[in-house]
C-alpha cells in the first residue's frame, strides 16, 4: 500500500496523462511517432548540442509575483520606492533591498536582470509562460525547461530522477507533451525525505519481488493486447521507482545527513531546507531542481509582508551560493531566482500599502553556470515603470538558460498533433551575461 | 583548382616561416614596432583607432590601439594590456578565443593565427615594452573612473570571458575517438561517460551513481582510455592513495575531482611525482589532505583552481599555495553565512495591525 501511495506521489501528473493518453490510444486518436523521430535524431547525433557552461539548474521560483522595487531593482529617492531602503553589496553598483543583508555579500556571483518583461498579468498564465516560454492554451501543454533538458541531454545519474520540484507540486514544472517519464518528481516537504520510498518492514525483499512479478504478469496480458507508448512509460516509472528504492543514491533526498551547522546556515524554513535538498540532489546528478517559495502576491501590506518573505530567501540563497562555490559546483550549476511578474510601482494606499500585478517590468537573478556575476543587466526608468534598456522577454530569459545548458535553440520537437516547438520559443539568449 | 594550389602553397610558406622564425629570435625580446604593430594595424585599427582613412568615428568599445598611452588605458571592458600578465590582458584574451566564439577579435576578416597570438602573448609577458614607439598622443585622463558615491564600492575584478573549453580543443587535436569496446566496458562498470565538449574525443568520466561501489580496482578499466580522459570525477568513491598510480598515467587530465574520498597526502605526493601536465582544476574538499600536500601541489604548475574546503590544510598552507601558484585560485575558507538571529519559522507569520 505504501508503495502504491509513493508511486502515486511520484507521478500524479503521469497518471492523469496516462489515463487521457490511454483513452486516446484506445480510441485510435494518436499515432504520431514524434518520440521515435527524436530518438532517431539523437542516435544519429543530429541534435546539434553545443558546449555548455552549465549542466545543472537550481531554479528558485517566487510564486505570486515578487516586487522588483522592493528586492533587486531599487530606486532610492523615487516616490514609488515607499519606505524600502537600499543597501550596498560587495559588487560595485549593485544595490539590494534592506532585507537581503546576507545575499549582499554574495552579489559578486550574481547577475541581476532588471529588464524582465512579460505579457501575462495573471498568476496561472504568468507562471506557465515563465516555465515554458509559451502562452497557456487549452489545446496543448508545453514542457518546461527541466523536461527539455532531460529530453535533450539525458540524465547525469540514471538512478535518480532528472527533474525534481521541491515545495510546489508539479503544477508549473511539467513534461508537457513529452513522454510521461519526463514528468518532474514533486517533493512536498524537503525535510521529510522522499516519502514512502522504503519497503515496509514486514515485506521482505523476496516477497516484494514476488509481488512485483505478480503485478507484471497481470499487466502483461493487458499490455500485449493494447500496445501503447503510455503503457510502456508507466511501467518504466515503476521500474525506475524500484531501482531508486534499492539505490544508495536515495540518501541524497535525506537532508538529515547534513550537519546541523549546515542546516542552520540555510535557514530552517521550507525554502532554505529546499535549497539544501537541491544542492544535495544536484551533487548526486539530478539536473534540474525547482525550489518554490510561495506567498509573494502582496496586494495588501506589501512592505510588512516583504519583511517576512525576504529573510528566508536571503538566508537560503546566500548559503546555497556559498556552499556551491566551496564545493566547486557553482561553475556548473546555474542558480536562478525567477517569478511570474513584478508588482506595480504605484503603492495602493487603501490596501495598507499594497502592490498589484505588474508584468511590464520586473527582476530576476542568474548566478553560476558560466554567468558573470557582480553586475546588473538592463534598466528600468527612474520609477521602475518601464524597461528602458536591454529588454529581456520571458522567452529570452529561458533562451539564456538553454544557451548555458548547451541546448539547441532552433531544434524543433513536435507535439502529438504535429506542431513544432522549440526550447525557448522565439527567445534570443542574452550572451552578454556570460 | 589553381586557387586551392596557391592557398596550399601560401599555408606551406607561412608554416615554414613560423617554424623557422621563433627559433631564430628565441633569445631576443619582441620588437613592438616591427612585429606587433603591423598586426594591430592590419586587424584592429579599422575599429580601434582615432581615425581611419580620413574617416572620423568613435573607437569601438572605447578602445584605441593607435598609441601606447591608449593601449595601456584599455577600453570599456577593462585593461587591454597588463604588463607581464597575458592571462588578464583583454587584448590577448579576445584574440585567442576560438573562431566560433561571439567575442573573438577581429569580428570580420581573418582571426589571428596561433603564432601571432603567441607573439603577442610573449610581448606582454616580456613586459609590454613599446620601445621607442609612441603613436598617437595618449588620453588626458588616465583611467576612466566611476564617480557615483551612492553606489561606488571597491572596484570589481575584470574577468575576461575566456572559453573554458579551449584547452580541451587543443588537447584533442591529434586524438582519435576512443574505441567502442573500451567505452562499453567503462559504462558497464557504472561510469557516466560523455564528451567534454560535444563531438570531442576527450572524455568526461564520472562515477555518479552508487559511487560507494567504486574502488581502486575499478579504476583499472581507465587504462585503455588513458589518453582520452580529460575530466575525471571520483567524488565520494572508495578510492585510496593507491589510485594515484593510475591517475598519474592520464596525460590529458585537465580536471580531477577527488572530493570526499579517502585520498591523503601520500596520494597527492605520489601523483606529484608524475604530475598530469595539463591539470588545471583539482577538487579535494572534504578529504584528509594537510599542508604536506601543499608542497606537493606546487608541482602542478598548470593549476588554475583548487578546492580545499573542509580539509586539514592550514591557512598558512593556503597562503603558501597562493604564493607558489599565483595564477591559481584557491577556495578554502569556510564561507557559509552563519545565522545572525534565531532561524525563522517554517510557516510564515503575517503581521497584522
Instruction: Extract the runs of DSSP E, i.e. beta strands, from A212-332.
Output: 288-293
Closest chain B residue by Cα to residue A270: B346
Look at residue A374 and tell me if it is in a domain. yes
pLDDT at B289: 95
Look at residue A37 and tell me if it is in a domain. no
Look at residue A288 and tell me if it is in a domain. yes
Q: Which of the four pLDDT bands, split at 50, 70 and 90, describes residue B338?
A: low
At B229-267, the pLDDT tens digits run 999 999 999 999 999 999 999 999 999 999 999 999 999
The region that residue A49 occupies, defined by phi over 0 for left and psi between -120 and 50 for alpha, beta otherwise, is beta
- At A163 the three-state DSSP class reads strand
What is the mean predicted confidence (pLDDT) over A92-118? Answer: 95
pLDDT at B164: 75
Residues A106, A25 share a domain: no
**Which range has the worst mean pLDDT, A129-143, A190-204, A293-307, B14-28?**
B14-28
Q: Which of the four pLDDT bands, split at 50, 70 and 90, describes residue B337?
A: low
CA distance B173 to chain A (A): 17
Q: Is the predicted pLDDT of residue A210 greater than 60, yes or no? A: yes
Residues A299, A169 share a domain: yes
Tell me the three cell numbers of residue A195: 516519502
Tell me which chain B residues have a C-beta less than 8 angstroms from the C-beta of A63. Answer: none
Q: Is the predicted pLDDT of residue B13 greater than 70, yes or no? A: no
Tell me which chain A residues have a C-beta less than 8 angstroms from the C-beta of B159. Answer: 372
Tell me which chain A residues have a C-beta less than 8 angstroms from the C-beta of B153. Answer: 88-93
CA dihedral (B41, B43, B46, B49) in degrees, to 10, reads -50
* CATH code where residue A85 lies: 3.40.720.10
What is the mean predicted confidence (pLDDT) over A7-21? Answer: 40
Tell me the three cell numbers of residue A340: 511570474
CB contact under 8 A, A157 and B285: no
At A369-386, the pLDDT tens digits run 999 999 999 999 999 999
Q: Considering chain B, what percentage of its residues have pLDDT values greater than 90?
A: 29
This complex has an ipTM of: 0.79
Residues A174, A64 share a domain: yes
Polymer length in residues for chain B: 353
Average pLDDT, chain B: 79
Taken in order A179, A184, A185, A188, the sign of the CA dihedral is negative
The three-point CA angle B297-B298-B302 to 5° equals 90
Tell me the three cell numbers of residue B76: 570599456
Tell me the three cell numbers of residue A103: 545575499
Residues A180, A103 share a domain: yes
Cβ–Cβ under 8 Å, residues B67 and B41: no
Closest chain A residue by Cα to residue B346: A269
pLDDT at B104: 81
At B19-62, the pLDDT tens digits run 444 444 456 888 888 888 888 888 888 888 876 555 557 788 88
Backbone phi and psi for residue B231, each to the nearest 5 degrees, phi listed first:
-130, 135
Choose the most confident range, by mean pLDDT, from A247-261, A272-286, B46-60: A272-286
CB contact under 8 A, A157 and B208: yes
Residues A291, A170 share a domain: yes
Look at residue A45 and tell me if it is in a domain. no
The region that residue A257 occupies, defined by phi over 0 for left and psi between -120 and 50 for alpha, beta otherwise, is alpha
Indicate the residue of B148, B192, B343 with minimum beta-carbon distance to A267: B343
What is the mean predicted confidence (pLDDT) over A404-423? Answer: 91
CB contact under 8 A, B337 and A319: yes
Indicate the residue among A222, A238, A253 that finishes a domain.
Answer: A253
Residue A376, domain extent: 50-193+260-433
Residues A396, A333 share a domain: yes
Grid-cell match 542516435, residue found: A43
Residues A289, A188 share a domain: yes
Q: Is the predicted pLDDT of residue A312 greater than 50, yes or no? A: yes
pLDDT at B158: 42
Angstrom CA distances, A29 to A34, A37, A416, A417, B191, stand at 14, 19, 10, 10, 41
CB contact under 8 A, A328 and B307: yes
**Which range has the worst mean pLDDT, A204-218, A225-239, B277-291?**
A225-239
Tell me which chain B residues have a C-beta less than 8 angstroms from the C-beta of A434. Answer: 161
Choose the most confident range, by mean pLDDT, from A39-53, A405-419, B89-103: A405-419
Q: Is the predicted pLDDT of residue A279 greater than 80, yes or no? A: yes
Indicate whether this model's pTM tops 0.95: no
At A329-359, the pLDDT tens digits run 999 999 999 999 999 999 998 888 999 999 9
Burial A138-172 (b: 16+ CB within 10 A, else e): eeebbbbbbbbbbbbbebbbbbbbbbbbbbbebeb
Cβ–Cβ under 8 Å, residues A123 and A22: no
Look at residue A122 and tell me if it is in a domain. yes
What is the mean predicted confidence (pLDDT) over B267-288? Answer: 92
pLDDT at A230: 73
What is the mean predicted confidence (pLDDT) over A270-292? Answer: 95
Residues A162, A64 share a domain: yes
**Which range has the worst mean pLDDT, A246-250, B98-102, B287-291?**
B98-102
CB contact under 8 A, A325 and B208: no
pLDDT at B339: 52
Look at residue A40 and tell me if it is in a domain. no
Can you tell me the distance from the alpha carbon of A311 to that of B339, in angstroms, rounded to the nearest whole number? Answer: 11
pLDDT at B288: 93
Residues A281, A136 share a domain: yes
Can you tell me the distance from the alpha carbon of A313 to that of B76, in angstroms, rounded to the nearest whole number? Answer: 34
CB contact under 8 A, A319 and B198: no
pLDDT at B49: 82
pLDDT at B148: 39
Sort strands A379-380 and A387-389 into parallel, antiparallel or unpaired.
antiparallel
- Identify the burial level of B138 via C-beta atoms within 10 angstroms of its C-beta, where 0-12 means exposed, 13-18 middle and 19 or more buried: middle
Angstrom CA distances, A361 to A65, B328, B333, stand at 11, 41, 38
Q: Is the predicted pLDDT of residue B161 greater than 90, yes or no? A: no
pLDDT at B210: 79
Residue contacts between A and B (CB atoms, under 8 Å) = 140
**Which range has the worst mean pLDDT, B86-90, B180-184, B271-275, B277-281?**
B86-90
Residue A337 belongs to what H/E stretch? Answer: strand A333-339
pLDDT at A35: 39
pLDDT at B54: 56
Residues A371, A397 share a domain: yes
Cβ–Cβ under 8 Å, residues B121 and B133: no
At B170-189, the pLDDT tens digits run 888 888 888 888 889 888 88
CA distance A23 to chain B (A): 37
Question: Which DSSP symbol is given to B124?
Answer: H
Indicate the residue of B148, B331, B336 with minimum beta-carbon distance to A319: B336
What is the mean predicted confidence (pLDDT) over A223-230? Answer: 78
pLDDT at A23: 37
**Which range has the worst mean pLDDT, B200-209, B261-270, B334-343?**
B334-343
Look at residue A39 and tell me if it is in a domain. no
Residues A359, A225 share a domain: no
Number of domains in chain A: 2
Residues A181, A67 share a domain: yes
Choose the most confident range, by mean pLDDT, from A281-295, B18-32, B144-158: A281-295
Can you tell me the distance from the alpha carbon of A273 to that of A262, in angstroms, rounded to the nearest whole number? Answer: 10
Cβ–Cβ under 8 Å, residues A395 and A424: yes
Look at residue A373 and tell me if it is in a domain. yes
Indicate the residue among A212, A229, A253 that finishes a domain.
Answer: A253
Amino acid at each position: 500500500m505504501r508503495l502504491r501511495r509513493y508511486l502515486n506521489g511520484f507521478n500524479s501528473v503521469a497518471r492523469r496523462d496516462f489515463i487521457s493518453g490511454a483513452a486516446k490510444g484506445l480510441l485510435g486518436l494518436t499515432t504520431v511517432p514524434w518520440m521515435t523521430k527524436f530518438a532517431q535524431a539523437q542516435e544519429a547525433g543530429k541534435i546539434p548540442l553545443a558546449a555548455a557552461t552549465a549542466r545543472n539548474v537550481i531554479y528558485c521560483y517566487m510564486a505570486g509575483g515578487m516586487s522588483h522595487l522592493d528586492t533587486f531593482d531599487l530606486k532610492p529617492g523615487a516616490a514609488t520606492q515607499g519606505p524600502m531602503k537600499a543597501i550596498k553589496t560587495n559588487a560595485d553598483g549593485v544595490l539590494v533591498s534592506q532585507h537581503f543583508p546576507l545575499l549582499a555579500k554574495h552579489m559578486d556571483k550574481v547577475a541581476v536582470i532588471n529588464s524582465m518583461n512579460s505579457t501575462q498579468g495573471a498568476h496561472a498564465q504568468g507562471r506557465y509562460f515563465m516555465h515554458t516560454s509559451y502562452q497557456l492554451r487549452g489545446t496543448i501543454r508545453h514542457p518546461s525547461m527541466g523536461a527539455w533538458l532531460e529530453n535533450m541531454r539525458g540524465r547525469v545519474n540514471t538512478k535518480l530522477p532528472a527533474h525534481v520540484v521541491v515545495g510546489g507540486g508539479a503544477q508549473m514544472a511539467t513534461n508537457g507533451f513529452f513522454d510521461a517519464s519526463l514528468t518532474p518528481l514533486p517533493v512536498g516537504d524537503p525535510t521529510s525525505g522522499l516519502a514512502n520510498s522504503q519497503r515496509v518492514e514486514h515485506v521482505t525483499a523476496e516477497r516484494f519481488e514476488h509481488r512485483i512479478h505478480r503485478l507484471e504478469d497481470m499487466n502483461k496480458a493487458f499490455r500485449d493486447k493494447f500496445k501503447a507508448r503510455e503503457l510502456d512509460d508507466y511501467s518504466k516509472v515503476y521500474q525506475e521507482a524500484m531501482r531508486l528504492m534499492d539505490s544508495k543514491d536515495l540518501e541524497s533526498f535525506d537532508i538529515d545527513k547534513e550537519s546541523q551547522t549546515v542546516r542552520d546556515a540555510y535557514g530552517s524554513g521550507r525554502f532554505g531546507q529546499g535549497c539544501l535538498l537541491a544542492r544535495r540532489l544536484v551533487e548526486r546528478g539530478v539536473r534540474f531542481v525547482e525550489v518554490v517559495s510561495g506567498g509573494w502576491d502582496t496586494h495588501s501590506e506589501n512592505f510588512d509582508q516583504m519583511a517576512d518573505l525576504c529573510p528566508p530567501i536571503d538566508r537560503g540563497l546566500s548559503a546555497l551560493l556559498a556552499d556551491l562555490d566551496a564545493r566547486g559546483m557553482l561553475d556548473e550549476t546555474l542558480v536562478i531566482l525567477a517569478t511570474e511578474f513584478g508588482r506595480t510601482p504605484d503603492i495602493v494606499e487603501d490596501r495598507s500599502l499594497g502592490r498589484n500585478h505588474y508584468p511590464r517590468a520586473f527582476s530576476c537573478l542568474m548566478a553560476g553556470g558560466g554567468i558573470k556575476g557582480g553586475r546588473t543587466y538592463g534598466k528600468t526608468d527612474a520609477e521602475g515603470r518601464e524597461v528602458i534598456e536591454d529588454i529581456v522577454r520571458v522567452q529570452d530569459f529561458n533562451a539564456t538558460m538553454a544557451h548555458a545548458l548547451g541546448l539547441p535553440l532552433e531544434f524543433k520537437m513536435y507535439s502529438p498533433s504535429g506542431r513544432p516547438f522549440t526550447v525557448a520559443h522565439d527567445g534570443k539568449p542574452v550572451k552578454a551575461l556570460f | 583548382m589553381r586557387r586551392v594550389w596557391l592557398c596550399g602553397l601560401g599555408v606551406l610558406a607561412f608554416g615554414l616561416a613560423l617554424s623557422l622564425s621563433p627559433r631564430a629570435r628565441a633569445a631576443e625580446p619582441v620588437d613592438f614596432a616591427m612585429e606587433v604593430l603591423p598586426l594591430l594595424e592590419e586587424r584592429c585599427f579599422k575599429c580601434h583607432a582615432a581615425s581611419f582613412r580620413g574617416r572620423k568615428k568613435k573607437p569601438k568599445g572605447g578602445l584605441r590601439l593607435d598609441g601606447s598611452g591608449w593601449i595601456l588605458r584599455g577600453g570599456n571592458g577593462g585593461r587591454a594590456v597588463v604588463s607581464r600578465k597575458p592571462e588578464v590582458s583583454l587584448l590577448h584574451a579576445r584574440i585567442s578565443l576560438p573562431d566560433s566564439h561571439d567575442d573573438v577579435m577581429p569580428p570580420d576578416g581573418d582571426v589571428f593565427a596561433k603564432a601571432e597570438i603567441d607573439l603577442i602573448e610573449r610581448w606582454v609577458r616580456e613586459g609590454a615594452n613599446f620601445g621607442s614607439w609612441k603613436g598617437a598622443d595618449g588620453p588626458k585622463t588616465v583611467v576612466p573612473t566611476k564617480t557615483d558615491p551612492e553606489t561606488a564600492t571597491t572596484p570589481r575584478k575584470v574577468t575576461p570571458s575566456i572559453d573554458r573549453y579551449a584547452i580541451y580543443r587543443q588537447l584533442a587535436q591529434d586524438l582519435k575517438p576512443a574505441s567502442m569496446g573500451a567505452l562499453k566496458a567503462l559504462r558497464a562498470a557504472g561510469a557516466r561517460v560523455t564528451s567534454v565538449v560535444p563531438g570531442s574525443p576527450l572524455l568526461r568520466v564520472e562515477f555518479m551513481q552508487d559511487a560507494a561501489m567504486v574502488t581502486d580496482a575499478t579504476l583499472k578499466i581507465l587504462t585503455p582510455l588513458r589518453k582520452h580522459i580529460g575530466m575525471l570525477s571520483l567524488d565520494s568513491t572508495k578510492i585510496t592513495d593507491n589510485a594515484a598510480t593510475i591517475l598519474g598515467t592520464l596525460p590529458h587530465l585537465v580536471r580531477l575531482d577527488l572530493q570526499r574520498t579517502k585520498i591523503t597526502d601520500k596520494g597527492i605526493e605520489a601523483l606529484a611525482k608524475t604530475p598530469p601536465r595539463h591539470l588545471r582544476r583539482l577538487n579535494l574538499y572534504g578529504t584528509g589532505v594537510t599542508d604536506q600536500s601543499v608542497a606537493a601541489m606546487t608541482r602542478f604548475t598548470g593549476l588554475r583552481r583548487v578546492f580545499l574546503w573542509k580539509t586539514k590544510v592550514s591557512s598558512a598552507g593556503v597562503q603558501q599555495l597562493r604564493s607558489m601558484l599565483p595564477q591559481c585560485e584557491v577556495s578554502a575558507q569556510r564561507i557559509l553565512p552563519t545565522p545572525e538571529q534565531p532561524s525563522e519559522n517554517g510557516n510564515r507569520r503575517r503581521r497584522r495591525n
